[in-house]
Amino acid sequence: MADRGTPTEPNRAFLPFGIGYLVLSLIGAAFFRNPPAGYSVPGWVPATSGRAQDSYKQFTEKEALRTPQWYLLAGIMTLNVTVGIALIAQANSSAIDIAGYSVAGAAALVGVLALFNGGGRIFWAWVSGKTGRMTAFGLMLGLQGVCLLIIPHASNAILFFILAAVIYLCYGVGFGTMRATAGDFFGVKHAGAIYGLMIIGWSLGGLIGPPIIAALIGPDKSYTLGYTVVGIIALVALILPVITRMPRPKAGATTATSRDAVGDVAVGDTVS
């Protein structure tokens, strides 16, 4: 047993990281200021068409929590994280047992896959601007579902890498796209706080995903069972982007900023 008075290797690694994050976060936060009233970037003109949409009003956090859309979006984030982190939690052992990677090779693979995790946040934010938010979320869940169904049979090292890279790429979409979606659905004024509440979905997914996949794989290394179940969860979750729609003004309200889900036809300009 290690001497309790002597820091272990993980402690030596995480303590400096924690201190560094704390210091940098406090320094960064000290420079944040709200822009002056009426401020806008010179030359910037709000879009009047396209795939990104504006809510018909500026929702507060409490108002957003009273809409079904908030829970649907949080559900998308939760399930996206649940299925994506299932592979992340088992990536090293899966690479070794399924595709025959060496221990060193699996460790290197996990390091490279982390780049796809980060890159996915930028890539899918760009894609969602072209296809629409819900289409992007549907693609993300669908791709993960298909890849998770195939990956336990991917004995080829290159095929395993490609499938795992796609899953990692899709895992990052919630963080790169959901905050913009919150602004689209609920207005940008309180989008930070509203999206911040949605991060609960990330926490839930992180708590749910690893125990589920670990229990399904078990000591017998039943990768086919584990990844098939998680892949089916991802495919069933496709229903959420399909049924999620922009909030609409209630009867009697009037707005000129609401737009339909496609983004080319204005609605609510004169609602009675």
Q: Enumerate domains of the chain plus CATH numbers.
A: 61-243 (1.20.1250.20)
Q: Maximum Cα–Cα distance for the chain, whole Å?
A: 73
**Could you tell me the pLDDT band of residue 258, with boundaries at 50, 70 and 90?**
very low
For residue 239 the two structure tokens come to: 């229903």
Please report, for residues 140, 169, 176, 194, 256, the alpha-carbon distance to residue 190 in angstroms, rounded to integers and kept in the order given.
26, 28, 18, 6, 20
Please report, for residues 99, 109, 163, 266, the alpha-carbon distance to residue 87 in angstroms, rounded to integers and kept in the order given.
14, 13, 10, 42
d(CA 177, CA 167): 16
Q: At residue 45, does pLDDT exceed 90?
A: no
Identify the CA nearest to 123 among candidates 162, 196, 177, 200.
177
**Could you tell me the pLDDT band of residue 161, with boundaries at 50, 70 and 90?**
very high
**Could you tell me the pLDDT band of residue 188, with boundaries at 50, 70 and 90?**
confident
Rg (CA), the chain: 22
According to the model, what pLDDT value does residue 49 have?
44
d(CA 73, CA 90): 26
**Could you tell me the pLDDT band of residue 8, with boundaries at 50, 70 and 90?**
low
**Could you tell me the pLDDT band of residue 109, with boundaries at 50, 70 and 90?**
very high
Q: In the chain, pLDDT over 90 holds for what percent of residues? A: 51
**Could you tell me the pLDDT band of residue 264, with boundaries at 50, 70 and 90?**
very low
Q: Which of 23-27, 63-67, 255-259 has the lowest mean pLDDT?
A: 255-259
d(CA 165, CA 117): 8
d(CA 246, CA 51): 12
Burial class (CB in 10 A: 0-12, 13-18, 19+), 66: exposed
Instruction: Write b or e for each residue in 125-141: b if 16 or more Cβ atoms lie within 10 A of its Cβ, otherwise e.
Output: bebbbeebbbebbbbbb
Tell me, rounded to whole angstroms, the distance of Cα 103 from its chain centroid.
29
Q: What number of other Cβ atoms are within 10 A of residue 36's Cβ?
A: 6
Question: Tokens 């089916």 correspond to what residue?
Answer: 232
pTM of structure? 0.75
